Structure formats: structure tokens, C-alpha cells
Amino acid sequence: MRVKSVQAWWVRIPIEVAKQHRSDFGQVTTFDAAILRIETDDGLVGWGEGKNAAGSAGSYAALVHMLNREIGPQLIGRDPADIGVIWEMLYNGVRHEAAAHAGHAMPQLARRGVSVAAISAVDIALWDILGKSLGQPVWRLLGGRKVERMQAYASGGWAAAGAIGEQLKSYVARGGFKALKMRVGAMDGAPHVSAARVRAARQAIGPDVELMVDAHGTYTVAEAKRFINLTADLDLAWFEEPVIADDKPGMAEVRASGSTPIATGESEATRYSFRDLAVLKSADIFQPDPAFCGGISEAMKIGTIASAFNLRFSPHLWAGAPCFFAGLHVCAASPASFIIEYSLGANPMIHDLVEETVEAKDGMIAIPEKPGLGFTISERFLEAHAQRS
């Protein structure tokens, strides 16, 4: 089995006005991703996804160009089952053979960001191919599935204090969720405005539904500590990205200021960044994004770091289908996983891009059974929304 072709597209799917939401990322009018298709000489097709923008909208011209012009040619003729070897080859660049012999990394200068987003897309697609070639779901190749269904949380919550309770209760009615996440932070201005929204949410949903908040990294350390103080009696399950990812010591200071668990990691890539979060005691819950952190292989390693530091793991799955399904398989196999992110924003990159129905029932998501990652891309839909760049 050899890689025959590698093709990436910037897929941009418009979101109808009635389904759009507004946050600190602005009005979200499209869902964008770099979608990767790898085909083998025996006709197997694997799908991957790379991500380089916050929120669901963004420009993917550079990432797609890199996949098609720089990464793709290096994969042609390779055995797609060499997933880890290919990961290290792409990460280490011209010194990959020296790194392989020496037993430690010698990465390229541009070793984060778009580079690892591209590796993520390749890694996800290669796992899809390996599973399909063996007739097994990817979770079986990662060590097995600890549950057949896993608890999910509804990810949304943008409404103002007067409407947030109804918005969150509509999520419970739709999917039976027992855990809900709402947005806070810069979109509200001062921390007390966000705290008032969270208080209204807690009053509406009662004490028995888990409530998480996500500030998208928009607070200063001082503002984040103030927010923790103002919400200390609201039993939050986690406070996500209180400050920017580039302030890991500040995140640790926020964590130490109260008893609210801190979750972070959607803006982090590779095992090395999550090692730093663990050593600095910056977070309780790691949230790597499979389409940005380095794919399924790296997400599994990050889950192992979480487990070793007695932390937990809940991947960032605000994503298209390849990334979302990758997250399901990783959660099924990782000892540190406990809950799955399920977007309640408009998500055509899952629901319209694949032929399967993806939904939560009783607040749970089923772990896929089919070989590979377990989804079928609608190639006509993809072609119709591919940007010509």
C-alpha cells in the first residue's frame, strides 16, 4: 500500500443568517477548514482536517497551499501505515534522519502553527486509511474503546443575561445534555457583566446540570481572577482559556487564585506545549484540537501527559467532520478523557459534509463502529464549497 495522491481544499460553507451567532470572534457567517484527501494505490481514501484560525471562520489559503505544494509531494510513494515515522519526518524536516537515529527531535524553525496544522491533517487522514485497510475502527488501533457512548456537553451560550437561561435549556431539550458551556469574556466587556450572565444561567438550569464557561483567552490575569471571585459560588465545572495561551504562568496564577478548574489547550500544539502546561500547573483539563495540535497521534500523547500528571482531557472539537470524528476515537481510547465537546452553533462542516447523522441522545455521543474514522464525505458537497485559490 502506497500513497498515490494528496489533495487539500479550503472548504468554505456559508451559514444562513438565522443560524449565525456573534462572539468576540465577530459575526460567524461561514464555516471554514482545510480538508485533506489522501488516496492509496489500492484505492483507499483517507480524510484529514487542518485548522489555523480561531472560531469556525478564517482564511485557509496558506495551509492548503502548504499541504498541496510542500507536504503532499513528500508523501507520494510512502507507506501510509508509517504514521508516526511520517509525523516525525514532517516535524523534523531536513534533519529527520539525524533525529531518528539520535532519538530526539531536531525540528524545523517553523515548528508550530500552520506547520503542525498541516501535519495534523496528514496524521488524521493516515489513521483513517490504516483503519480502513485493516477493516477496524481507529479506536481499536489506539488500544480499544473504554465505552460505547460517551457523555457530551453542549457548546454554545452567547445570549445576554435575560435570555441565556432559555438558550441553555433549549440545548437540554434538543440533546438531553447534562453539561453545558457558555461564552464569557471580552464580548461582555467587564467581568461583572459575564458573571451576571453565568449567575442567570445557573439559576435557570438548576444545580444538577454541569456548567462550564469559556473566555476564549480574552481576560487579563487580573480580570480572570476577578471573574473567579465573582462566580465562586456557582459551582463551575471549568473556566476555559481565561487568558491567552502565550501566558502559561499567568494561567497558573489564575488557577491558584480559586477552586474553579481551569481548562485550556485549543491554541496549543504538540506534546511539548502540554508538558509546559503540566509542569507550570496551569490547567486541570487539557483541550488539544486534533486538527491543530498534531493529529490523532499527538492528541493521544497529550492524553498520556494528562494522565501522568493526574489531569484530565477533553479535546477541542469545534470542528469539521474529520477532526470531530478523530476526537471521538481519541476520547474512546484515552484514559484521561471524560466528556466530548458537541457544538450547538451552526456546523455545516459536520452535518452537511458527511452522509452520516451526527447527534447527541440523552446527552451521549456514540463512538463510531465503522472501519477507519467512520464517516463518509459527500464529495459533491465538498467540491461545491471548495475555494478556488
Tell me, yes or no, if 316 is annotated catalytic: yes
Judged by beta carbon, residue 214 or residue 253, the one nearer Mg ion is: 214
| Count of residues that bind Mg ion according to CB under 5 A | 1
Region of 235 on the Ramachandran plot (φ > 0 left; ψ -120 to 50 alpha; else beta): left
The smaller minimum CB distance to Mg ion, of residues 89 and 302, is found at 302
Residue in 345, 33, 101 with CA at minimum distance from that of residue 214: 345
Q: Cα dihedral angle (245, 247, 249, 255), rounded to 10 degrees?
A: -60
Give me 347's grid cell: 456546523
Q: Give the residue closest to Mg ion by C-beta.
A: 214
Q: How far is the CB of 371 from Mg ion (least distance, A)?
A: 31
Q: Which is nearer to Mg ion, 210 or 214 (CB)?
A: 214
Q: Output Rg (C-alpha) for the chain, integer angstroms.
A: 20
Binding track over 186-225 against Mg ion, x by CB under 5 A: ----------------------------x-----------
CA distance 161 to 151: 27
Each as own residue / partner, the long-range contacts of residues 17-24 (CB below 8 Å, 24 or more positions apart, any chain) are 19/345, 19/346, 20/346, 21/156, 21/158, 21/345, 21/346, 22/158, 22/187, 23/55, 23/158, 23/183, 23/187, 23/216, 24/183, 24/185, 24/186, 24/187, 24/216, 24/218
Q: How many C-beta atoms surround the C-beta of residue 234 within 10 A? A: 16
Q: In sequence order, what are the beta bridge partners of 152?
A: 340
Q: What is the rounded CA–CA span in Å between residue 106 and residue 189? A: 43
Minimum CB–partner distance for residue 181 and Mg ion (Å): 8
As measured in angstroms, the least distance from the Cβ of 214 to Mg ion is 4
> Looking at beta carbons only, is 128 or 214 nearer to Mg ion?
214
Q: Which amino acid is at 339?
A: I
Query: CB 155 → Mg ion: shortest distance, Å?
Result: 8
Q: How far is the CB of 144 from Mg ion (least distance, A)?
A: 29
| Cβ closest to Mg ion, residue 114 vs residue 317 | 317
User: Given the complex with Mg ion, which of 123 and 214 has the nearer CB atom?
Assistant: 214
Minimum distance, C-beta of residue 316 to Mg ion, in the bound complex (Å): 6
The catalytic residue among 21, 96, 216, 316 is: 316
**Interacting residues toward Mg ion by CB under 5 A:** 214
Catalytic center residues? 316
